[in-house]
Every structure is written in C-alpha cells, then in structure tokens.
Amino acid sequence: MKPWNQRPIEIRNLFNPAFCGLLMHRAIVGFRDTDEKGMPFSLSLLILPLCLPQTSREILKAGNRSYLLKVIAEHPELLVGFAGRCTDTLGFTFEGLGVLMHHGALSVNGDSRLLPGPARVVAAVNGSDETKACQRVATYLGKQFALIGDRVTIYTTLGIRP
C-alpha cells in the first residue's frame, strides 16, 4: 500500500479507511443480529469487493428481498473478476478493520470472530445516495452470510478459495 498522501484522490475518496470501516461494521452488526457468535474473519474479506463496485452493489440492492445464493445464481455477472476484486481490496479491508480496532468499534472473540466493539458507530444510515446504498448492501451481506452459516458454501458460490 502506498502512503496516504501518495494515493490518487479518487482512491483516497473511494477507499477511505473510515468509510471502509463503516461498511465492515455494518456487515458485522448485520451478521451479529442473526448469529451472535460473530462474523468469521474470512467472510469480512468479501464485503468491500461486493459493496463498492456499482454494478454488484445495484444487483445486490435490487435483490435484497431474496436470498444471496439465489441472487448470485440469477446474476452470474457478479462473479466476473470477483477474485481479482478481492485481491485488489484486501489492503483497504485491513485498513478499515484497523480503524475500527483503533477506535474500539470492533472486537475479536476467542474463536477469531469479529463482533462490534464497545465504541459506538452512528446507527443512522446517512450520507449521499451512493454511500447509503453501500451501507445497506453491507448490512444485507452480513445478514445473508449469517443465514447461510457456512463459509465454504459462500466461497464456493462466489467461485473463490479462502
């Protein structure tokens, strides 16, 4: 990762660690609302590559009343280049998780599962229409990952290996 001041302005805006952390937090809370054990770390790596690209975000937003596995089956275009997007956003995911840890908004339990920490994050979904959509899709993904309950199924469906 390049130092912050050496990144292009577009990258700094889109992959702002605080915003990426907010998306991760929304997904972790959504997961915890369905499964109190917390989100496995390996699933947290899938949130940004699914939320940030406009194409995948719009597909997931439109299908948010359906099961994630059904949405993916009906829209195989979600999988095109997905492994590369995961690799490309890995550093930004780590930065977002780091911001959450630094501010106490993320905790890790003994099973290496991610849970919301004691520090509070704004509960209201606000911002531009695009940032609101990102946050809503992140919450949807967290809930759907918890409902599926099996990391192998999620990774296999998305065509990648942990």
Enumerate the domain spans of the chain: 6-157
CB 100 within 8 A of CB 106: yes
Weakest-pLDDT range from 95-99, 100-104, 128-132? 128-132
Mean pLDDT for 67-93 is 93
pTM: 0.91
Render pLDDT for 3-48 as a digit per residue (tens, 0 to 9): 777 778 877 777 889 999 999 999 999 999 999 999 999 999 999 9
Render pLDDT for 63-78 as a digit per residue (tens, 0 to 9): 878 899 999 999 999 9
- Name the DSSP class of 76: G
pLDDT value at residue 125: 84
pLDDT value at residue 143: 96
pLDDT value at residue 47: 97
CB 139 within 8 A of CB 64: no
Could you tell me what percentage of the chain is helix, strand and coil, using 3-state DSSP and rounding each to the nearest 5?
65, 5, 30
Query: What residue type is assigned to position 2 of the chain?
Result: K
First to last CA, the chain: 21
DSSP string, 4-66: GGGS-HHHHHHT-HHHHHHHHHHHHHHHHHH-TT-EEHHHHTTHHHHHSSHHHHHHHHHTTTS
E-strand ranges in 68-148 read 106-108, 113-116
Percent of the chain past pLDDT 90, that is, above it, reads 72
